Structure 1
Amino acid sequence: MASQDATSPTQRSFTDRYRGVIEAFRRSFYILGRNRLTIVGIGMVLFIAVIGLLAPVIAPYPSHVGSVTEFGQSLQPPSSEHLFGTDRLGRDIFSRVLFGARISMKIAVFVVGAALSIGIPLGLAAGYIGGRVEMLIMRVTDIFVSIPRLILPVAVAGALGPSLENVMLALIVTWWPWYVRLLRSEVKEVKESEYIQAIEGLGASRLRVMFVHLLPNSLTSLLVQATMDMGWVILVAASLSFIGIGASPPTPEWGLMVARGREFMPTHWWFSVFPGLFIFINVMGFNLIGDGLRDILDPKSRME
């Protein structure tokens, strides 16, 4: 009996923590359930992700992703044989759009992930350490931020040459400074709290304070912004391909497909319309998810 009483506080403590996590998830799903547009956004992004992953399986003409030419099928309208029609080389647009989903999701995840991996340490250091470290980081950041978001990737991609890898590098160079500025402002606010001062008083190292205590309490705005940025990254990447400094043929990138089909508008509308439609679905989906995350993570937005 005594041993049971001795262990009961630990069991109760574990149960309380477990219930708290469950309750947080319930509140989050409740808020998501109230926002139908967020559910639509999740569905859009999941749809794009699934068709990208399953493209080799569900694409009726996977060989048409490359430089295959079938001039006898050139510019065929949508039909049961070619759901989205064919392009000027006779390639199945539906198959190419499916593989393009994989490329677009890869660009979004890689660019935002790499930009965050650069921006988070620099933003933490600038916001917490301050002094000369902050001044140096922020002056370099301001140089990049002062250049418009579309001009900088155009300049970088144009200098490096048209390729998918160069597009992603150009976008990483463009996006990381914004995460530095956003996280720095959040960290400077959080580090003044009594909780952080108590941790410092107990002798915690700077790295521990920054990554274990400051970062988790400063991620709200960063997560929302990163989710929305995934859609914008896809849009900018498509824009670079559209103007000829992005992905190079025969890559089935949506922006490149829209650019190739514009000269056949409006008579052969399917050439550009279907890739453009998928760009819209992907960008809109990420924006709707970002709005939903803001409602969940930001108590002030829920009170408005």
Structure 2
Amino acid sequence: MSAVPAGELPHGLLTAARQHRAGTDLPGRVDGETWLRALPRLVDEALDRWSLRVDRGEPLRHGLTALVVPVTRPRGDPGVLKIGWPHEESDTEHLALRAWHGRGAVQLLAADPPSGALLLERLDAGRDLTIGSVQGTSEALGGLLSRLDRPAPPWAPPLSGQLVRIRDQAQRAATDAALAHRFPRRLLQQAASLAADLAGEEGLDARLVHTDLHQANVLWRAQPGEWAAIDPKTVAGDPHWAVAPAMWNRWDDALAAADLRSHLTSRLELVCGAGGLDPDRARAMTIVRLADNALWSVRHGRDDVADEITRSVAIIKAMQRG
């Protein structure tokens, strides 16, 4: 019997993974349902490979694309085994973690890229930035952006290429009459124009950027007492590109604020202040990313597309100057 049988897999992971489609970018990609069937075997193989034991005193955890199993290493020290669904954004996770070597990010202890298995240090999974003051959590995110900043390695996909794609898709969407009543055309045109300007900048692809750095992707490292980023999705780009996730996460807090625009502006300025970034440049990149998020939801027929569009429009409007 598997150490983590199919019947023990978290319900949230089952729900999320079953929505994942097989990628077409490389041979061997599988859909989420196929990956779930293989998951117990992948866990067992990783446990054997690194001589690990499941730590039954801690619960299984998960994200949208990975199972996280608390484990005990051969000498008795704790770790976590992460088995991820194979997709394009996860391909470079082990490379990014090796590049950071624990500076501002979770420490990678071992990796088996073909199986999507990572052995990581165990952080405090019960302590992240989804609670706490806007000032404190935003400044912590900004501080991590600064710590993670380093020259882009050759394996990181270039941000300029993404911006060209976003420009083209936003331009097409701006002429789509069926979309016009769901997403303001002027905001699509603005996003296309900003993406075009940014994509043409010399030196845009110079830095290694964690593009999914948000409040739930930061955990506490008890020794020496500091925050560390997890689950990197990386590009060779500009650190300002990484500010946007801090805007769309903890959305209930934003909605509860007396003034949504002021709340989001404050978040952005706090992140930028702590990270040594230019707020105007962060606003421009946030506008582009939010438009892209909304269009992605439309293209993929997401059940929450209406909420995604509403949130994206609200954030884009809050990012306008003046």
TM bucket normalised to smaller: under 0.3
Task: Identify the structure with the greater helix proportion.
Answer: 1
The structure with the largest alpha-carbon Rg is: 1
- Normalised by the size of structure 2, how large is the TM-score? 0.20
By relative contact order (CA 8 Å, sep 6+), the higher-ranking structure is 1
- TM score, norm. by length of structure 1: 0.21
Higher strand share: 2
